[in-house]
């Protein structure tokens, strides 16, 4: 996918779609080198970081006449179609992430402090868990869900987090963080040594 996103013909095709956008998001096509840089920054992230990044961008969008707009570099607001074409994001992946952000998004009061107002201690906890999921989780292409190994338990992960981070948050804060910002992390319901995944359940 990274190679295709950087392909000149792919960029040309996607930029033509942006130029022909009925909402007139951009008055002229962007420079191909800039598009390549934008896509490079996105596609060189891990799959989990791309999911987190997209989730973050969705929460920052503006809705105008029932149409969702994303703010990009240069202060331009572009519709979601142009946004996906700019970054070469699969439509199914976008819709899947958007649907779950709407369903799982927690208001500022629900978890005590809004994500953007958290301090270094919270970011340390979030980064620790994100690295844990990147190391131990599996993700299928174009899906938001990340699957942790069979029989993974949140309590065991928390105890490991607390042992590795000097100033750790409480178990309840850790659980709130997982629920609010890692809603896409699930646990495999069966062991997959010689069989396919037959289901999954929410992170316990």
* Backbone phi, psi, residue 8, to 5°: -60, -45
Cα 201 to Cα 204: distance, rounded to the nearest angstrom: 8
Q: Which residues of 61-94 are buried (b: 16+ CB within 10 A; e: fewer)?
A: beeeeeeebbebeeeeebbbbbbbbbbbbeeebb
pLDDT tens per residue across span 67-78: 899 988 777 888
**Average model confidence (pLDDT) across the chain:** 80
pLDDT tens per residue across span 3-60: 888 888 888 888 888 878 877 787 665 778 888 888 998 998 877 778 888 888 888 8
Cα 156 to Cα 178: distance, rounded to the nearest angstrom: 14
Residues 182, 147 contacting (CB under 8 angstroms): no
Cα angle for residues 57, 22, 88 (degrees, 5° grid): 40
Least confident of 71-80, 83-92, 138-147: 138-147
Residues 122, 169 contacting (CB under 8 angstroms): yes
- 88 to 51, 92, 127: CA distances (angstroms): 14, 12, 26
Looking at residue 77, its pLDDT comes to 87
Enumerate the β-bridge partners of residue 146: 185
Nearest in space to 92 (alpha carbons), one of 140, 22, 26, 37: 140
Residues 183, 104 contacting (CB under 8 angstroms): yes
- Using DSSP's 3-state secondary structure scheme, residue 70 falls into strand
């Amino acid at each position: 996918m990274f190679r295709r996103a950087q392909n000149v013909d792919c960029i040309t095709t996607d930029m033509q779609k942006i130029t022909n956008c009925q909402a007139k998001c951009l008055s002229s096509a962007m420079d191909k080198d800039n598009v390549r840089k934008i896509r490079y920054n996105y596609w060189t992230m891990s799959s989990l970081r791309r999911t987190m990044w997209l989730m973050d961008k969705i929460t920052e969008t503006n809705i105008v006449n029932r149409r969702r707009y994303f703010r990009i570099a240069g202060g331009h607001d572009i519709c979601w179609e142009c946004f996906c074409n700019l970054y070469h994001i699969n439509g199914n992946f976008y819709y899947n992430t958007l649907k779950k952000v709407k369903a799982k998004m927690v208001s500022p009061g629900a978890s005590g402090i809004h994500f953007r107002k958290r301090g270094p201690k919270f970011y340390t906890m979030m980064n620790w868990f994100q690295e844990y999921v990147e190391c131990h989780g599996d993700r299928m292409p174009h899906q938001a869900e990340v699957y942790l190994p069979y029989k993974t338990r949140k309590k065991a992960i928390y105890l490991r987090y607390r042992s590795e981070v000097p100033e750790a948050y409480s178990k309840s804060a850790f659980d709130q963080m997982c629920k609010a910002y890692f809603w896409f992390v699930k646990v495999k319901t069966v062991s997959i040594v010689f069989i396919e995944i037959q289901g999954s359940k929410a992170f316990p």
